[in-house]
Amino acid sequence: MNQLLKKFEKIEIDNTSCLDREDQRFCQTQQHMYESVLRHYRAMFRGMKMLHDKETEFHSKLDEKNVSSHNIYHKNLIIADTNTQMDLITSIHQELVERIFTYFRSRYGLDLSAGTYEKYISIQEPEKPVFSFESSASYFSEAGRRGRKEKSEQYEAEYQAYQEEMLLRSKLDYHVIIDDIFQYLDGFDFKEKLQQEIRQEVKNAMEHRDYNLTNAKISFTGLTYARRDYKK
């Protein structure tokens, strides 16, 4: 019995199989474009690193011959800034999330809100240590300074590994984003969820607005409202 239960636990449901062809084609196209952009910029980063190292090596040799302490020829043409590269990679991740959510929100009129890319990626940023000041004696003691230094060095090593993982290997999979959207649907299909949202919005409006009910038509006093367009 336990063996049977373990087999059921390993079963994975592919929610993309519930999408129609147009939705699947859109998601697959976005995934392909996203991965192409990632490959492009990562290749650029590698090239920039090589050029930066070459430039640094050149100026190091020039400094050996320079009689002045200041190298006026050092221009830093190639800047391999990790933080700038991180911002670029994370913005590409976020763009995929936004594109998929915007598509389903626009097509089906759902009240979908895109989260951040961190929700759909397995790489976790290390937590920066916080040092509390309990007493001057313990804070400025040799043991206290040594402990803070060790924790800071450990964090810096972990953060450097995190940056390297993000820059070189991080990647989103649209299937995970679709799973989140189906979780939002809560067992309904797209049209059923839209109907549920409209009914709830009408109910909320009836609780706070004056309205007239004639046969199957309801009209509100002083209410201007437009539902998002969607394909039927």
State which amino acid sits at residue 207. E
Pull the structure tokens for residue 63. Answer: 């400094």
The CA-based angle 125-128-134, given to 5 degrees, is 160
Task: Answer for the pair 55, 48: CB distance below 8 angstroms, yes or no.
Answer: no
Using only C-alpha atoms, the chain has a radius of gyration, in whole angstroms, of 28
Q: Where are the alpha helices (DSSP H) in 66-114?
A: 82-108
- Dist CA 147 CA 151 (whole Å): 6
Strands (E) across 151-228 are located at 211-214, 217-220
In this structure, the number of other CB atoms found within 10 A of the CB of residue 117 comes to 20
Res 75: pLDDT: 62
Residue-by-residue pLDDT tens, the chain, 232 positions: 456 445 434 435 466 768 999 999 999 999 999 999 999 999 999 998 888 888 888 877 776 766 555 655 656 666 678 899 999 999 999 999 999 999 999 999 898 989 899 999 999 999 998 887 766 667 778 888 888 899 999 999 999 999 999 999 999 999 999 999 999 998 888 888 878 877 777 677 666 666 565 655 656 565 544 555 444 4
- Provide the angle, in degrees to the nearest 10, between the axes of the packed helices 142-168 and 21-65: 120
Question: Phi, psi (5° rounding) for residue 218?
Answer: -120, 135
Task: Answer for the pair 18, 190: CB distance below 8 angstroms, yes or no.
Answer: no
- Domain assignments of the chain as residue spans, ordered by start: 13-187
Pull the structure tokens for residue 194. Answer: 């839209």
Res 4: pLDDT: 46
